[in-house]
A = this chain, B = another copy of it.
Amino acid sequence: MNQDMNQDMIQEIKQLLQEQYQGSFYEYISQFHPYDIATNLNELKHEEKLQLISLVPIQLGAAILEYLEPDLQYEILDGVTESLTSSLLNEMSSDTIVNLLLSIHPHQTKKLSQLLPYDYREKINTLMNYEPNTAGRLASVDYIAARINWTVDQALQHIRKVGQDAEMISCIYVVGNRGELVGVVSLKDIILAKSGTTLGEIIQGDTISVSVSMHQKEAADVLSKYDFVAIPVVDQDNRMIGIITVDDLIDVIHEEATEDIQKLGGSQPLEEPYFKNSVWGVFRKRIGWLLILFVAEAYTGNVLRHYEDTLNEVISLAFFIPLLIGTGGNSGTQTVTTLIRALAVGEVEFKDIFKVMKQEIATGIFLGLAMGLVAFIRAEFLGVGFDIGSVVAITAIFIVIWSSTVASVLPLVLHKLKVDPAVVSGPFIATFVDGTGLIIYFTIAKVILGL
């Protein structure tokens, strides 16, 4: 829906809520997808929000809640009648409830938890206890379990009975007596099988599952590699804990890419959407790396003071300092970002280090030669003479090759050492190349100019 449609919808909803005629209200609202209703909910007043959720069927109300942020979910669940809250919680998926209960104030958590049936509350508590960013924390218990000796007809009957509460019914999970995961049967296979076939005959033998303690990023990788729509989560005894559905893992893929991008920008990742962060919060995420890079960069001062006499003698060497170290930083940044992404998506591993170095250094040589040529032309334009022009050109060649080499080795080595390679951000490589680049520059200058 576009901006105008959203505005129209909000106005129409406000109008219909004032008229207080449930029939026409529901008729209007039911033509929209719950996501679109959720997106516009924040434009309504507190009372209008509560009125809307109270007027629609429980299932639609719960579906709208699924798309809201935890604070808004709580605002509504806390505002409507206790029996409605209870019914809505019952319809919502368990992973949404876990996320909600962990995002609000502990005394609010307690208040809401008490409205859950005892058994369900226990399950929710277990899920809440898994570490953040693990598969366990994302798991939903709203899946359909079956037994291996059931016929497809029995399974279908079971699905018809419990399917309404399940988050998805495309896969049915076959579990044993101790709750251990035996295999997966797809609804497609159940529907397509001849009547009387047992689940054992159509079960997929190659059950892929993830462990509760697996990092959510890895779980997302497994799901995208195998093209699944959901993946079962098991504990260390292979007992079925829940499932993670593809929509939750798409959110994980987005989140992880955002984190990687922010790290590459030389900052600790923000944990919240952009506008949810306070100035102070953003400050804290950025100041650390800014200080580390400052300290690392500071030695450029020592390098320059070391070459003070050379500089004093040929002041025009200073003109090219930003240009040369900037070019080195830029070419290093190109290499490092490409490699960090290639590592993140699994296209490159440590064992490829020589292949990577060969490719990057070869590219670096060509880039260096090209940049050396333009650097020489630039120096001539500034009118600093052939000698200094040669120093600048040769430095450009060596700086680009040097930065390509460093940028190709560092991410792979860090990855091998289990350090997140995204910490070698562009700014990090640029800083590293600045100091070493100056040493290259002045060494070449002293040799060529005979200082």
The chain A residues found within 8 Å of chain B, CB to CB, are: 30-33, 35-36, 156, 159-160, 163-164, 168-170, 187-188, 191-192, 204-206, 208, 223-229, 246-247, 250-251, 253-254, 257-258, 260-262, 264-267, 270, 273-275, 277, 279-280, 282-283, 286-287, 289-291, 293-294, 297-298, 300-302, 304-305, 308, 311-312, 315-316, 318-323, 325-327, 329-331, 333-334, 336-342, 345, 347-348, 352, 355, 359, 362-363, 366-367, 370-371, 374-375, 378, 382, 425-427, 430-431, 434-435, 438
Contacts and interface: CB of A to CB of B under 8 A. Distances in A.
Contacts of A224: 247, 250-251, 254
A205 B36 CA distance: 13
Contacts of A312: 315
Contacts of A286: 331, 334, 363, 367
Contacts of A156: 191
Given A31-B205, A327-B290, A258 B345 contact: yes
Residue among A311, A321, A333 facing the most chain B CB atoms (10 A cut-off): A333
Contacts of A321: 304, 318, 321-322
Given A169-B188, A331-B290, A33 B226 contact: yes
B206 A191 contact: no
Nearest to A205: B31
B253 A301 contact: no
23 contacts: A33-B204, A163-B191, A187-B191, A261-B261, A265-B336, A270-B338, A273-B347, A275-B347, A277-B359, A279-B359, A280-B366, A286-B363, A286-B367, A287-B370, A290-B331, A290-B367, A294-B371, A300-B319, A301-B378, A304-B319, A318-B321, A322-B322, A322-B434
A298 B257 contact: no
Given A301-B322, A302-B382, 4 more contacts: A265-B338, A287-B367, A291-B374, A326-B431
A425 B280 CA distance: 25
Contact of A187 (B33, B164, B187, B434): B187
A375 B289 CA distance: 15
Contacts of A325: 322
Contact of A319 (B169, B301, B347): B301
Contacts of A168: 188
B338 A319 contact: no
Given A254-B224, A265-B336, A430 B359 contact: no
Contacts of A297: 322-323, 326-327
Contact of A323 (B250, B291, B301, B366): B301
A298 B35 CA distance: 50
Contact of A337 (B35, B265, B359, B435): B265
